[in-house]
Chains A and B, each alone.
Chain A
Amino acid sequence: MSRLTARELTLAYEDRTVVHELDLAVPDGRVTVIVGPNACGKSTTLRALGRLLKPKHGAVLLDGAELAKIPTRKIAQAIGLLPQSPVAPEAITVADLVSRGRQPHQHWWQQWSDEDERAVTDAMERTDVTALAERPVDALSGGQRQRVWIAMALAQETDLLLLDEPTTYLDISHQVEVLDLVRQLNHEHARTVVMVLHDLNQAARYADHLVAMKQGRIVAEGHPQDIVTANLVREVFGLASVVIPDPVTGSPLVIPGEPWTPASRTDVAGGDVPGRSPQGVERNHRQRTNAVPERSAPEETPRHGTDPNTTAPPRDPAATPRTT
């Protein structure tokens, strides 16, 4: 069953079409992760699922009704969304920010209820930010701040939760912490989660349902075990790799091809043909295309403003023709 579906969704920023006639059914009670190279339209798709972007054609449906026709406050009672770089009001305290997640449940004359109090307390306990309650959000570390934002989205108490790159800017332990939290939430309350992630291996670890996108289209979707193969990685990212089972979880683990060495320089000098290296791995891909999002993403994503992934044309023209 899917409460949230996209039907022939075409998304565009002004005249530039970013997503083409995309069909997607978000499985209820599961963690769905969207992956793909920069500018493939994954964040754009997530924004449309959360009605932040109006479709050019097609529609996003919530319980069979078009999102565009549901009052935005009603949507906010069903779908929670955490944007990529949310901005907190200056000098706001943690508890104040988390309590704003209750907005869609409040009324002018009923600005605070026992229900609000319970939801906020609960959300803060879950994300382990209770001790920070009176601290200003400005003064927190990146990991703490991200937990506070997730607490705000949780306080909204929606069945569906959309997270746009929730692990950006976090170091690896905080990344794992956030992803574990997401999984725990999904497990304990059967919340449906849709996330955009940059790291293919994290996606493969945490997703029940993986959606691989490229150039505004879905290339493959399904359980990570079923779809993540070296061929898929090559097709989607233009990256040569080896896929092995994750020694801890058994989920697919993508190991990129051999890194550049001085020896490989002579191999590719003057030539632009892939697959010539004696090792039989197209290692020159990485060198020329820079298409290893899981490594380069944090540096590439700006701290402020909108995601260039969704607003800039593909940066990586070398990667695409080779894979088609």
Chain B
Amino acid sequence: MTASSAATAVGMRPAGYALVRLGQGRFLLHRRAAVAAGVLTLALATVCVAYLCVGESNVPPADVLKVLFGQPSANELVVGTLRLPRMTVGLLIGAAFGIAGALIQTVARNPLASPDIIGISQGASALTVGAMTFGITSYAVLPYLSIAGGILAAALVYAFAWRGGLHATRFVLIGIGFAIALRSVTHLFLTKGDYLVAQQAQIWMTGSLNGRGWDEAAPLAWALLLLLPAVLWAARAQRTVSMDDDTATALGVRLGRVRLGLVLTGVVLASVATATAGPVDFVALLAPQIARRMTRTAQIPLLCSALMGALIVVVADLLARRLLSPTELPVGVLTAAVGAPYLIWLIIKGRTGGKA
């Protein structure tokens, strides 16, 4: 009797979680995920300092820190005006792609389902490039067209995959079909369009951070800040969609709405990021899967996916700047070089369930 009541008093909290109390709120924190987030943050901070140090002219880390903390430095221009805003854009789009991939992969229950595979990036490209060839080249308009293109493509894929419910595999396959079709449309615009415009569009389409500054970083930061509540909601809602439909419904989840909410959040994040830097391929595909392998959580961890996405983009852009220096590569070339083999491996492995 005493033994059983003692056991009850200890209580059965899901293994590996810690309870966090914040005022009235109580949250479960996955210990391994928390450690992974810490490690990733440290790695990211290190890489960021390296990013700011290394370049055409190398700046000592002490000077970089001076600039970061607002003290006067001779390297103010190189670090503060050129590298820092570009890096900030890289961090933000990386995080946005990482979360977008995590959410869409969760809903589709398939690691292949990321915005750059299922047509969202291609929708953004098609509309943006189309507008460019029709003479709309203002950067005040193009990002919005890009966002609209991404959302439109996602809506079409969603509508076609819907048959009295969202069928996950159909969603992915239809998405891949749309991606191919939209890519052709983009190429049609490119061949029809003016040579100079086509070249400009081509660079954007590969995904590049070249020349991105505070003008791009600020609206991106605002957009992500506005999406933060949706992301916080998604982190919780994700738990329930990882079960089968019947079980989730039995637990009182409005599956249709939750899925739509998750996909919508992911699509908007991916579209906003694409609007800023072009479709930086494979970040959304890679980041969540690597993050999940680190945390071993039952669902894809959002914070770690965001950190991993940011890490991938910043490292890739650092390499893109330096690898063939003084020639600069678009960052998308680097992410594709890592991502494409991974994608092939995923397909060869023949498993669509997520974790290996």
Q: Which residues in B have their C-beta under 8 angstroms from that of A52?
A: 246, 249-250
Q: Of the listed stretches A32-40, A114-122, A188-196, A209-217, name the one at the interface; the rest are far from the partner chain.
A: A114-122
Q: Which residues in A have their C-beta under 8 angstroms from that of B10?
A: 121
**Smallest CB–CB gap between B83 and chain A, Å?**
39
| Contact present for B243 and A86 (CB under 8 Å) | yes
Interface string of A150-179 (1 = CB under 8 A from B): 000100100000000000000000000000
Which 10 residue pairs spanning A and B have beta carbons closest together? Answer: A76-B252, A73-B252, A83-B246, A92-B298, A87-B244, A89-B242, A81-B250, A104-B252, A117-B11, A96-B14
Contact of B251 among A76, A94, A112 (CB under 8 A): A76
| Contact present for A99 and B14 (CB under 8 Å) | yes
Q: Of the listed stretches B38-46, B61-69, B233-241, B279-287, name the one at the interface; the rest are far from the partner chain.
A: B233-241
| Contact present for B243 and A124 (CB under 8 Å) | no
Contacts A50-B250, A76-B250, A86-B246: A91 and B24 contacting too (C-beta < 8 A)? no
Q: Which residues in A have their C-beta under 8 angstroms from that of B233?
A: 108
Q: Which residues in A have their C-beta under 8 angstroms from that of B249?
A: 51-52, 72
Q: Which residues in B have their C-beta under 8 angstroms from that of A118?
A: 8, 11
Contact of B12 among A75, A81, A89, A130 (CB under 8 A): A130
Question: What total of chain B residues lie within 8 Å of the partner, measured CB to CB?
Answer: 39
Complex Cα spacing A81 to B251, Å? 8
A141 at the interface (CB under 8 A from B): no
B177 at the interface (CB under 8 A from A): no
Give A73's nearest chain B residue, CB to CB.
B252
Interface residues of A (CB under 8 A from B): 47, 50-52, 71-77, 79-83, 85-96, 98-101, 103-104, 108-114, 117-118, 120-122, 124-125, 130, 133-134, 153, 156
Complex Cα spacing A85 to B17, Å? 27
A-B contact pairs, 11 of them (CB 8 A): A77-B252, A86-B244, A87-B243, A90-B354, A95-B14, A100-B240, A100-B251, A111-B28, A120-B11, A125-B7, A134-B16
Give A87's nearest chain B residue, CB to CB.
B244
Contact of B27 among A93, A104, A111 (CB under 8 A): A111
Interface residues of B (CB under 8 A from A): 4, 7-8, 10-17, 19, 24-28, 233, 236, 239-240, 242-244, 246-247, 249-254, 296-299, 353-355
Give me 20 other A-B pairs in contact (C-beta within 8 A), A47-B246, A134-B15 excluded. Answer: A71-B252, A72-B252, A77-B252, A81-B250, A88-B243, A89-B298, A91-B296, A92-B298, A93-B16, A95-B12, A95-B15, A96-B15, A109-B26, A110-B25, A111-B26, A114-B11, A117-B13, A120-B13, A121-B8, A133-B12
| Contact present for B251 and A121 (CB under 8 Å) | no
Q: Which residues in A have their C-beta under 8 angstroms from that of B24?
A: 109-110
Complex Cα spacing A175 to B296, Å? 33
Q: Which residues in A have their C-beta under 8 angstroms from that of B253?
A: 72-73, 103
Complex Cα spacing A270 to B334, Å? 75
| Contact present for B25 and A80 (CB under 8 Å) | no
Q: Which residues in A have their C-beta under 8 angstroms from that of B239?
A: 100, 103
| Contact present for A112 and B26 (CB under 8 Å) | yes
| Contact present for B7 and A121 (CB under 8 Å) | yes
Complex Cα spacing A110 to B4, Å? 27
Q: Which residues in B have their C-beta under 8 angstroms from that of A89?
A: 242-243, 298-299
Complex Cα spacing A72 to B253, Å? 7
**Smallest CB–CB gap between A121 and chain B, Å?**
4
Give B297's nearest chain A residue, CB to CB.
A91
Complex Cα spacing A218 to B244, Å? 30
Q: Which residues in A have their C-beta under 8 angstroms from that of B7?
A: 121, 125, 130
Complex Cα spacing A77 to B253, Å? 12
Complex Cα spacing A274 to B231, Å? 66
Number of A-B contacts (CB under 8 A): 130
Q: Which residues in A have their C-beta under 8 angstroms from that of B353?
A: 90
Complex Cα spacing A91 to B26, Å? 24
Give A92's nearest chain B residue, CB to CB.
B298
**Smallest CB–CB gap between A107 and chain B, Å?**
9
| Contact present for B26 and A75 (CB under 8 Å) | no
Complex Cα spacing A98 to B239, Å? 13
Give B11's nearest chain A residue, CB to CB.
A117
Contacts A86-B246, A96-B298, A112-B19: A117 and B12 contacting too (C-beta < 8 A)? yes
Q: Which residues in A have their C-beta under 8 angstroms from that of B27?
A: 111-112
| Contact present for A156 and B12 (CB under 8 Å) | no
Contact of B236 among A111, A113, A125 (CB under 8 A): A111
**Smallest CB–CB gap between B5 and chain A, Å?**
11
| Contact present for B12 and A83 (CB under 8 Å) | no
Contact of A104 among B246, B251, B354 (CB under 8 A): B251
Contact of B15 among A73, A111, A133 (CB under 8 A): A133
Q: Which residues in A have their C-beta under 8 angstroms from that of B296?
A: 91
Contacts A121-B7, A125-B7: A103 and B251 contacting too (C-beta < 8 A)? yes
Complex Cα spacing A118 to B240, Å? 21
Contact of A109 among B25, B298, B354 (CB under 8 A): B25
Complex Cα spacing A120 to B11, Å? 8
| Contact present for A100 and B243 (CB under 8 Å) | yes
Interface centre among B16, B240, B250, B297 (most CB of A within 10 A): B250
Q: Which residues in A have their C-beta under 8 angstroms from that of B242?
A: 89
Q: Which residues in B have their C-beta under 8 angstroms from that of A121?
A: 7-8, 10-12
**Smallest CB–CB gap between B111 and chain A, Å?**
11
Contacts A95-B15, A103-B252, A122-B8: A108 and B244 contacting too (C-beta < 8 A)? no
| Contact present for B26 and A110 (CB under 8 Å) | yes
Q: Which residues in A have their C-beta under 8 angstroms from that of B243?
A: 86-89, 100
Q: Which residues in B have their C-beta under 8 angstroms from that of A77?
A: 252
Give A79's nearest chain B residue, CB to CB.
B250
Q: Which residues in A have their C-beta under 8 angstroms from that of B297?
A: 91
Give A96's nearest chain B residue, CB to CB.
B14
Q: Which residues in B have their C-beta under 8 angstroms from that of A112?
A: 13, 19, 26-28
| Contact present for A83 and B25 (CB under 8 Å) | no
Contacts A91-B298, A92-B298, A117-B11: A81 and B19 contacting too (C-beta < 8 A)? no
Q: Which residues in A have their C-beta under 8 angstroms from that of B254?
A: 72-73
Complex Cα spacing A80 to B19, Å? 26
Contacts A72-B253, A101-B251, A103-B240: A93 and B15 contacting too (C-beta < 8 A)? yes
Q: Which residues in A have their C-beta under 8 angstroms from that of B251?
A: 76, 100-101, 103-104, 156
